Amino acid sequence: MRAANRSDLLMDQPLPHNEPGFREVRVSSTYRDAKLPEKDILKEVEQYGYDEDATFAIKLALEEAMTNAVKHGNRNDPSKCVIVRYAVDDHRVVICIRDQGTGFTPEAVPDPTEPDRLMLPSGRGIMLMKAYMDEVEYRHDGTEVYLVKRRK
């Protein structure tokens, strides 16, 4: 049996956002299952009357974060999972996405708009999340991304 690594242990720790009001969805780490949380989250976003721009932003950020969790975090290992916790109220939408990878250093990710990187096919996910969400914070050594969209 494989020894539990640090990220496995972190997975079972309570998140700072597991207070009442936060819902949790765990999906296996495949692109197919990574789509599953979106529907419920966007349904709540719609129920709270967020506008089209906010919905566009949340959908985009969620897609980017889930792809990063599956691809870069869990390295396409379907035996791993992605945990999504979210809460929606009148003022903001908060989404936390955690993977079971070894983490990364967000500051070390190069700017994709640098002239010599502009035509590289990857590396724009974090930039788009930052452009569209009000807060994007990496926690737990980069294994969790915390996203906030506030009502305008």
Partner 1 sequence: MPAAESHINVTKRDGVDVVEFVDRKILDELSISELGDQLRTVADATPAVRLILDFARVEHLSSAALGMLITLDKLVKERNGKLRLCNINPQIFEVFKITRLNKMFEIRKSVDDAMIGL
In the complex, what is the shortest distance from the CB of residue 13 to partner 1, in angstroms, rounded to a whole number? 29
Residues that bind partner 1 (CB under 8 A): 31-32, 34-35, 53, 56, 59-60, 63-64, 67, 71, 112-113, 118-125, 127-128, 131
Contacts of 110 (CB under 8 A, 6+ apart): 117, 123
Closer Cβ to partner 1, 88 or 129, answer by number: 129
In the complex, what is the shortest distance from the CB of residue 16 to partner 1, in angstroms, rounded to a whole number? 28
In the complex, what is the shortest distance from the CB of residue 132 to partner 1, in angstroms, rounded to a whole number? 8
Closer Cβ to partner 1, 13 or 76, answer by number: 76
- Which single residue is written with the structure tokens 């197919």? 32
> Alpha-carbon dihedral of residues 62, 66, 72, 78, nearest 10 degrees?
180
Closer Cβ to partner 1, 103 or 123, answer by number: 123
Q: Which two tokens stand for residue 41?
A: 């989250």
In the complex, what is the shortest distance from the CB of residue 56 to partner 1, in angstroms, rounded to a whole number? 5
* Number of other CB atoms surrounding residue 52 within 10 Å: 7
As a whole number of angstroms, the distance between CA 98 and CA 83 comes to 5
